[in-house]
Amino acid sequence: MGEAVPVDQEPAEQARETVRQLRSLATPAGAAALTRAAELLAARTDAVTALTRLRGEVGVELAGPAWGIARQRDKARTAFGADADRLLFTGDTLEQAGRPVLADRRARRLLSGGAGSAADLGCAAGTDTMALARAGSRVVAVDRDPVARELTRLNTAATGLAGVEVRDADVVDLVAAADGGRVAGCDAAVLDPARRSGGRRLLDPDRWSPPWSTVSTLLDRVPWCVVKVAPGLDHERVPAGVEAEWVSVGGSIVEALLWGRAPSAVWRRATVVARDGAVTELTADSDPGTAPAAPVRRWLHEPDPAVIRSGLVALVAEQLGATLVDPTIAYLTSDSPADSPWVTSYPVTDVLPFNLKKLKALLRGRGVGRVTVKKRGSAIEPEALARQLRGPGEGTAVVVVTRVAGAPTAIVCTVP
């Protein structure tokens, strides 16, 4: 949304205006305006023309908000599928929204102990609230932002989910008052702190909203809880008895979770979701330490980022009979390819000290034209180097720039 809200409005007034607009879109006239805006967007109508037409067809009041929501729905479709056309998001709440498939998975595990009620502590547009309700729980959805509360109300209604109470409260206070293993009157809780401010990532967990102190209090007081944290969270922060899980989809980390002491089952868990939706999990009851390092062999294995972030590379090395190329770098090497969901394997053709001229000459000699550059432990810019290495040949190669036994090295591989 946002098109219809003048920028000089005070935040509280702006929020009131956004809530009013959202309510107007939940009427039959609003639904018609949304349908029309979606049609114009699907026809790739430019914003100025679309808004002019919408103003004429559905009125000045509904045109801007309908166009804004249609654009957010378009962005939401990849993660939310057909549901995107029933849901309302602002730009901020869509950016903060997790993937519904993963929210469902989290909700099922959180409720597996039999909790009948769950608090969504910071509900934004209600992704977790809807997942908890779909999993059969009564839900108390809390947010101090009136726009978030309205979105959660409207979204749960639009998806026909019952048993959701939306509450205006400060999560810091609710967690401070948690008692007897319960928070906000519920048996279980999801906490997903805001980790951005002014469009920038907040790297320091003490600056999240609510801050780390609330995260650790919740983990101490409410056994059936799960907290979404930044994927880069320092392992030192994870309290004893709390399982930390990193989830990747299609090779990128999408979320990191700290599980309360009741659902916690292991020390760390790496969850890899393949492009076809298949889920594979790797777990360890304790820190497996660091894998041994040895010279590069015939195959190079790139561990999935969920394996790396969860500290389970040594476990995978053991499974594959592989070693690290350097004690500080998460590339593995072995004599044979790996049929494993935890790594992508590349056949190695050459290993040479990193030198642009020599690398270029070697690739030309091999007839390589197109190069994919990967790096770890090196300051090079992969796209820039790939452009520099591009040649006239027909062949392709993967060039891995990294450290081997402490020395800057290029490992040339064929495309698997």
Ligand X SMILES: C[S@@+](CC[C@H](N)C(=O)[O-])C[C@H]1O[C@@H](n2cnc3c(N)ncnc32)[C@H](O)[C@@H]1O
Tell me how crowded residue 11 is: count the other CB atoms within 10 A of its CB.
8
Give residue 10's Cα distance to chain centre: 31
Q: CB-wise, 148 or 329, nearer to ligand X?
A: 148
Q: At what angle do helices 28-42 and 60-80 cross, to 10 degrees?
A: 60
Q: What are the tokens at 265? A: 């089952």
Give the Å distances, CA to CA, from 20 to 5, 13, 30, 32, 61: 11, 11, 12, 17, 10
In sequence order, the β-bridge partners of residue 194 are: 209
Q: CB-wise, 194 or 266, nearer to ligand X?
A: 194
Contact 129, 187 (CB under 8 A): no
Choice from 13, 39, 170, 381 touching ligand X (CB under 6 A): 170
**Site map (CB under 6 A) of ligand X, residues 196-225, x = contact:** -------------xx---------------
Smallest gap from Cβ 309 to ligand X, in A, equals: 19
- 3 state SS of 158: helix
Count of positions on this chain that bind ligand X (CB under 6 A): 20
Which residues in 228-267 contact ligand X (CB under 6 A)?
Answer: none
- 3 state SS of 211: coil
Contact segment (CB under 6 A) with ligand X among 39-47, 68-76, 122-130, 285-293 equals 122-130
Q: CB-wise, 50 or 76, nearer to ligand X?
A: 76
Contact segment (CB under 6 A) with ligand X among 4-12, 170-178, 254-262, 363-371 equals 170-178
Choice from 33, 54, 125, 273 touching ligand X (CB under 6 A): 125
Classify residue 84 by its DSSP letter.
G
Smallest gap from Cβ 152 to ligand X, in A, equals: 9
Which residues in 134-163 contact ligand X (CB under 6 A)?
Answer: 142-145, 148
Q: Residue 218 burial (CB < 10 Å; 0-12/13-18/19+)?
A: buried
How far apart CA 363 and CA 351 sit, in angstroms, is 12
How far apart CA 231 and CA 88 sit, in angstroms, is 27
Q: CB-wise, 148 or 348, nearer to ligand X?
A: 148
Smallest gap from Cβ 15 to ligand X, in A, equals: 11
Q: Give the pairing of strands 329-334 and 299-303.
A: antiparallel
Choice from 72, 127, 345, 409 touching ligand X (CB under 6 A): 127
How far apart CA 264 and CA 244 sit, in angstroms, is 8
Which residues in 81-100 contact ligand X (CB under 6 A)?
Answer: 96-98
Which residues in 273-332 contact ligand X (CB under 6 A)?
Answer: none
Contact 160, 86 (CB under 8 A): no
Q: CB-wise, 1 or 315, nearer to ligand X?
A: 1
Smallest gap from Cβ 163 to ligand X, in A, equals: 18
Choice from 5, 26, 158, 194 touching ligand X (CB under 6 A): 194
Choice from 192, 245, 255, 304 touching ligand X (CB under 6 A): 192
How far apart CA 361 and CA 158 sit, in angstroms, is 61
Helix (H) or strand (E) holding 17: helix 11-25
**Which residues would be at the binding site for ligand X (CB under 6 A)?**
96-98, 122, 124-125, 127-128, 142-145, 148, 170-172, 192, 194, 209-210
